[in-house]
């Protein structure tokens, strides 16, 4: 994932949020609140988030 992060930061104008650099809660909060960002996470993180948000 770090390789993706480096490549995205080098080639895209969007700010990149990478799982593991900050807490999952902060990561998702920033992504939802600010928008216009690229979110790089694992599928399991998104599945966990979807299950929690559907409760």
| pLDDT at residue 52, rounded to an integer | 61
* Surface-to-core class of residue 30, CB atoms within 10 Å of its CB (0-12 exposed, 13-18 middle, 19+ buried): middle
Q: What is the pLDDT of residue 48?
A: 66
The pLDDT tens digits of the residues spanning 1-47 come to 788 788 888 999 988 888 888 888 888 888 889 888 888 887 777 66
12/55 Cα distance (integer angstroms): 35
What does the pLDDT read at residue 43? 72
What pLDDT, on the 0 to 100 scale, is given for residue 11?
93
- The domain in which residue 36 lies consists of 2-53
Domain count within the chain = 1
- Please give the helix or strand (H or E) that residue 38 lies within, else none: strand 38-40
């Amino acid at each position: 994932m770090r390789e993706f992060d480096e490549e995205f930061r080098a080639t895209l104008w969007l700010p990149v949020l990478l799982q593991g650099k900050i807490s999952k809660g902060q990561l998702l909060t920033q992504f939802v609140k600010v928008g216009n960002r690229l979110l790089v996470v694992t599928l399991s993180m998104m599945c966990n988030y979807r299950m929690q948000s559907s409760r």
